[in-house]
Amino acid sequence: MDYERFFKLSGDPFSNVPDNRFYYDSPQHSQAVMHLAHVAERMRGLGVLTGEVGAGKTMLARRLLEILREDGRFETALLVLTHADFSPLWFLRRIGLLLGVRDLQEEKAQISTAVARRLMEIHAEGRKPVLLIDEANLLRGQPILEEIRGLLNLELSDTRLITFIMFGMAELNQNLLADVSLNQRVAVRYHLEPLDPASVREYIQHRLVIAGREEEMFTETAYDLIARYSQGRPRLVNAVCDNALMEGCLQEKEMIDAAVVQTVAYNLGLVPAEEDASQTELNLGQEYAF
C-alpha cells in the first residue's frame, strides 16, 4: 500500500521537486519576494538572494518567476546553471536564447549586438526584461562577470535595459567581489535563513493541506524532532517527512510519533550514531541551534 492511500492524501506532499503549489510563504520568504520584486519593478540592475543548501532558494526563484510572469509588464526567463565549466560566449548565447533572440550568430560581437537590439525591442514594447539565475554561485571568474556588467551598462532614457536576480549559496557574494564594479551594482542582498521550529510545523501542515489532508498527522514531539534533525532546511524536512509517512504506513500508524521520526532521521544520517531515544527525549527542551 502506498502512503497516500493509507493517509488519505490526494498527492505527494513532500517531494523535493519544486512545485509552486506547495510554496510556503513564511514571513522571511514574503520579505525576500518583496525585496526582489522591487529590484525587478524599478529595474535596479542586480538583486542577490543567498542561502545554505536546502534552504528553499530554488522554490523561491520559481515563485518569483511565477509572480513576474503573471504581471504582463515583465519579460522574464530563468537560467539554471548546472556546472561552472562554461565560457562567456556560451553564457551570452544562452541569455540571447532566453530573451527570444533569433538566428544567433557565432561571433561574440554579433551576439552582443543582437542581445542589445532585443532588449531595446522589449523596452519599446513597454516591458521590463528580468533574468533570474539559479545556482548563481557557479558564476565564477572575471570574464563571466564582465558579461553581466556589460549588459547592465546598457541604458536607454536613464533606464537599465535588463535586470538580473541571482539565487545561490553564500559563496555567491564572495564570487561577485572579483568584479568590484559589478559588486557595487547589487541593489538588494537577502539571505534566506533556516526555518525556526514554529515555521517548520506550519510548513509541514501547509504541504499536507495542499495534498488533501487537514487532520493532524504528527505528534508534538515528532514536530520537535523534525525541526531539530532538519535544522530548519526545507529540503531535509521533506526528506524526513516523506520517509516518516512511508514508515508510518508500513507500521500502520495513523499518527507519526517521535519513534518513527527518529528512526527515519537515523537512517538518513541525520542523527549522531551515539544518540539513543532516551537522550533525544531529554534534549527536546533545549534551545535549537539554527
Percent of the chain with pLDDT over 70: 93
Outline where the chain has alpha helix (H).
3-6, 27-41, 57-70, 88-98, 108-124, 142-152, 171-176, 180-183, 197-210, 220-230, 234-250, 258-267, 277-283
What confidence category does residue 83 fall into, taking pLDDT thresholds of 50, 70 and 90?
very high
The pLDDT assigned to 286 comes to 42
**How does pLDDT run across 111-138, given as a tens digit for each residue?**
999 999 999 999 999 999 999 999 999 9
Say whether both 174 and 279 belong to one domain.
no
Say whether both 77 and 168 belong to one domain.
yes
Domain of residue 181: give its range: 27-192
**How does pLDDT run across 173-182, given as a tens digit for each residue?**
999 999 999 9
Contact assessment for residue 91 and residue 143, using Cβ atoms and an 8 Å cutoff? no
Confidence check: pLDDT of 187 > 60: yes
What confidence category does residue 287 fall into, taking pLDDT thresholds of 50, 70 and 90?
very low
User: What's the CA gap between 95 and 170, in Å, rounded?
Assistant: 24
Say whether both 49 and 182 belong to one domain.
yes
Confidence check: pLDDT of 101 > 90: yes
Contact assessment for residue 185 and residue 149, using Cβ atoms and an 8 Å cutoff? yes
- Mean pLDDT of the region 189-212: 97
Confidence check: pLDDT of 160 > 50: yes
The pLDDT assigned to 106 comes to 84
Q: What is the number of domains present in the chain?
A: 2
The pLDDT assigned to 158 comes to 79
Is 21 contained in some domain?
no
- Mean pLDDT of the region 210-234: 96
**How does pLDDT run across 19-64, given as a tens digit for each residue?**
999 999 999 999 999 999 999 999 999 999 999 999 999 999 999 9
Is 31 contained in some domain?
yes
Say whether both 85 and 126 belong to one domain.
yes
Is 276 contained in some domain?
yes
What confidence category does residue 104 fall into, taking pLDDT thresholds of 50, 70 and 90?
confident
**How does pLDDT run across 240-255, given as a tens digit for each residue?**
999 999 999 999 999 9
> What CATH number is attached to the domain comprising 146?
3.40.50.300
Q: Which residue has the higher pLDDT, 226 or 18?
A: 226
DSSP 212-235: T--S--B-HHHHHHHHHHHTT-HH
Residue-averaged pLDDT of the chain: 92
What confidence category does residue 157 fall into, taking pLDDT thresholds of 50, 70 and 90?
confident
The pLDDT assigned to 1 comes to 63
Say whether both 127 and 231 belong to one domain.
no
Nearest to 43 by CA among 164, 147, 133: 164
The pLDDT assigned to 282 comes to 40
Amino acid type, 144: I
Choose one of 192, 208, 232: the last residue of a domain: 192
pTM of the predicted model, to two decimals? Answer: 0.89
Say whether both 110 and 95 belong to one domain.
yes
User: What's the CA gap between 102 and 178, in Å, rounded?
Assistant: 32
The pLDDT assigned to 276 comes to 56
Confidence check: pLDDT of 278 > 70: no
